[in-house]
Amino acid sequence: MLTTILSVGLFCSGLILAQAPVQDIDGNLHANLAAAQAHVVQAFNSILAAQKQNNDDMKGHAEKARQFLVQANQELKLAAEAANAAQKKK
């Protein structure tokens, strides 16, 4: 049982690590959210470059920051989708 839980946890964390944020919010509909998403993608790529330059020797902090940026990107996309749904109701 514990092995299964640990395996699922490692699998899920691996999914987060494998993803890179993408810019997929329509700037014509949500200019500010799209701009924020572009900054997230840029920050993610800058951290990745810093990790390579420092041979990943940042005690996991840069990786954790990248994970937070992946989450931020997902939340921005959800915000845009929520705004789209609210607009359709009007």
Q: What is the pLDDT of residues 25-48, one digit of tens each?
A: 999 999 999 999 999 999 999 999
Whole-number pLDDT of residue 68:
97
Whether 13 has a pLDDT exceeding 70, the answer reads: no
For residues 62 and 47, give the distance between their C-alpha atoms in angstroms, rounded to a whole number. Answer: 6
pTM score? 0.77
The confidence band for 19, taking pLDDT boundaries of 50, 70 and 90, is confident
For residues 61 and 68, give the distance between their C-alpha atoms in angstroms, rounded to a whole number. Answer: 11
